[in-house]
Structure 1
Amino acid sequence: MDERNRDFFATVAYIYLQHGNPADAVAILEVAVDELANDCELLRLLTYGLLRVQRFQDALERSDQLSVLGAKDETHNLMRSRALLGLGREREARQLWRSSRQPSDRAPRQLQAASA
């Protein structure tokens, strides 16, 4: 698959995801990822689409692929947590989300105390 076809697949899938057709997006992205298994952007879109159609086990497996490729960031951890939650693994999901948050994401103690 050349760059133009890859971009076309990604764009169409993104439009489907944004306009309430996640199943169609997943079908397109699965074909694209079969051709370009190391494309992190396509894998992220596919993982998100799988979450939208509630294929949590598949989303978790694609999240594993992203991990192997080194694409670990807060977005990855959020999607992985959502997949774990969908599989009924709430404790793991919460632990992952808490451990992945950066200290800068947390409110300063003064703000926490003021809101309590």
Structure 2
Amino acid sequence: MKTTIYTLVLLVSLLSADLPIKQSQSESNKENIEVVFDRKMTFDDLAEIKADLKKKEVELSYSRLSFDDNGMLKAISFKVDCGDGFKGEARKSSLGYNDFGFFRNYDSGVRVPFGVGLINKIRD
């Protein structure tokens, strides 16, 4: 992942799993959020991400989830609503490992404050 102006801190789950929710403190005192869905995730990981975001008043819903025989995520369709006018949805039928999800940057003056889908391409 490319280095950005702000530092992203990985949110540690209660189970100490590597969940892809990254956050950093923004100028507005709200935590910037980045979620990346990948092939290493299980249903429990997705449920925990949703619960963590709900505490931050960000609504995440999954409209389609598909798992392989080992219980790992292989396809996803989701909607996210940040509760401040920024919302979107995306889907991917063949999930990879590094750049599909969404982000919300609360810093003022940032060029791209929100994005869903292939997030590395959106921010660049």
Q: Do the two structures share a fold, i.e. TM-score over 0.5? A: no
Highest CA radius of gyration, 1 or 2?
Answer: 1
Give me the TM-score of the superposition, normalised by structure 2: 0.29
Give me the TM-score of the superposition, normalised by structure 1: 0.30
Higher strand share: 2
